[in-house]
């Protein structure tokens, strides 16, 4: 499949699922504006668990550890114990979840909106979350994923599949790294080319 056909297939998939995407996007927006602090925290937990595994497993695991709000009140050992029942990286991710919960509790009264609202825009928020040493397990991709899931629409989630396709199409070099600088380069590219191309096809 040549590059034009690949782009055509992406645009076709977007157009086919446009209504679903719009509906889901509106649901995401309500989480940040209307959701409870725990709803936003659960999205962060999901993104921590989704890194390096499937979305299905992460969703299943979140459902288990959020039952009766366990993850909000449990000790680190209790969180790890629950994760061990269904999740491969239970020790490391369990510690990440516990530590970020305690950090948000101590500094933001368990409302992560207070942290996010400190920043002027979503790009700065994404970069700061990714670089915050108190929020482990959340890099550039996961922080973009988290912010998208709570209603921010202008951030790319550059996962392994997206990066692989972009390398195939020579849009990025083979040794591309997920740094802040490289994310900004891709933002410029999307604004100048891909997004405009999609709009042309859909109008």
Q: Is the pLDDT of residue 83 over 70?
A: yes
Work out the angle between the directed axes of helices 195-202 and 3-16 (0-180°, nearest 10): 60
* pLDDT of the residue at 2: 59
Q: What is the pLDDT of residues 53-64, one digit of tens each?
A: 888 999 999 998
Q: Is the pLDDT of residue 201 over 50?
A: no
The region of weakest confidence among 11-25, 29-43, 65-79 is: 11-25
Domain layout of the chain by residue ranges = 3-16+157-202, 27-149
Please enumerate, as own/partner, the contacts of 79-83 that have beta carbons within 8 Å and a separation of 24 or more.
none
Region 170-189: mean pLDDT is 76
User: Region 163-170: what's the mean pLDDT?
Assistant: 78
pLDDT in tens, 20-29: 988 988 999 9
Nearby residues of 190 by Cβ (< 8 Å), 6 or more positions away: 156
Instruction: Please tell me the CATH code under which domain 27-149 is placed.
Output: 1.10.340.30
Among 8, 39, 154, 159, the active-site one is 159
Segment 70-89 mean pLDDT: 94
Q: Mean pLDDT across the stretch 142-166?
A: 86
Closest C-alpha among 191, 162, 192, 188 to residue 176 = 162
Q: Could you give the percent of the chain with pLDDT greater than 90?
A: 53
Is 159 in the active site? yes
Full DSSP string of 120-168: SSHHHHHHHHHH-TTSTT--HHHHHHHHHHTT--S-----HHHHHHHHH
Catalytic pick among 141, 153, 167, 196: 141
pTM (2 d.p.): 0.84
């Amino acid at each position: 499949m040549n590059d034009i056909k690949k782009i055509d297939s992406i645009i076709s998939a977007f157009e086919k699922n446009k209504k679903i995407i719009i509906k889901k996007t509106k649901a995401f927006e309500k989480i940040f504006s209307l959701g409870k602090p725990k709803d936003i925290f659960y999205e962060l937990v999901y993104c921590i668990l989704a890194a390096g595994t499937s979305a299905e497993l992460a969703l299943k695991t979140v459902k288990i550890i959020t039952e009766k709000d366990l993850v909000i009140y449990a000790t680190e050992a209790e969180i790890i114990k629950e994760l061990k029942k269904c999740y491969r990286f239970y020790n490391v991710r369990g510690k990440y979840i516990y530590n970020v919960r305690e950090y948000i509790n101590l500094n933001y009264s368990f409302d992560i909106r207070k942290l996010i609202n400190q920043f002027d825009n979503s790009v700065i928020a994404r970069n700061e979350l990714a670089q915050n040493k108190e929020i482990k397990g959340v890099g550039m991709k996961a922080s973009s994923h988290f912010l998208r899931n709570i209603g921010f629409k202008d951030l790319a989630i550059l996962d392994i599949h997206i990066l692989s396709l972009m390398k195939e199409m020579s849009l990025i070099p083979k040794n591309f790294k997920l740094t802040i600088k490289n994310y900004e380069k891709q933002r410029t590219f999307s604004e100048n080319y891909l997004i405009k191309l999609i709009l042309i096809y859909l109008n």
